[in-house]
Amino acid sequence: MKGVAASPGVTMGKVCIHRDIFSHVPTYAIKDHQIGTEIQKLKKAIEEIEEAIRRDQERIKQQVGSKDAEIFSAHLSIVKDSRFLSEVLEKIATQKINAEAAVCSQIRGYEEVFSKIEDPYLKDRVLDIRDIGELAFLG
């Protein structure tokens, strides 16, 4: 793990890793004239995520093989999912919240739905959705 030193020297202590990045995403109200800006911000982030996934997929394909790189196809399908995108866009426009908060809200909604699914394989697909959300915030 990497960090930023507050002062020189060595220290010891307990490490606490907070894995829920979504709890740190700020939610703030936007005005009508900011809706377009937030939508453009979302679309740009989606393009960047798609490029990053494709780069990772190609790298894994070359280093490990095509079969192992297939997981990235699932991630790409989530990024390109028109329903997910339209629901996030609707949240921005109707709830007048920032793009990051709209994405978080949508992911939280999917988590709630997927948590009720009995099938373990399908239940775990919410992890793929979280991965995409984390890419959006961590880059």
Quote the pLDDT of residue 16: 62
Residue with tokens 């697909």: 125
Crossing angle of the two packed helices 99-115 and 35-63, in degrees rounded to 10: 60
Class level of CATH domain 28-138: mainly alpha
The domains of the chain are located at: 28-138
Judge whether 54 and 84 are in contact, CB under 8 Å: no
Give pLDDT tens digits along the chain (139 positions). Answer: 566 666 677 777 776 665 667 777 889 999 999 999 999 999 999 999 899 999 999 999 999 888 888 888 888 888 888 998 999 999 999 999 999 999 989 988 888 888 888 888 888 888 888 887 777 665 5
Question: Rounded to whole angstroms, what are the CA distances from 49 to 5, 31, 97, 112, 135?
Answer: 30, 26, 21, 24, 7
Give this prediction's pTM.
0.74
Judge whether 49 and 135 are in contact, CB under 8 Å: yes
From the CB of residue 126, how many other CB atoms can be counted at a distance below 10 Å? Answer: 17
SS3 at position 78 = helix
**CA–CA dist 115, 122 (Å, integer):** 10
Quote the pLDDT of residue 110: 87
SS3 at position 29 = strand
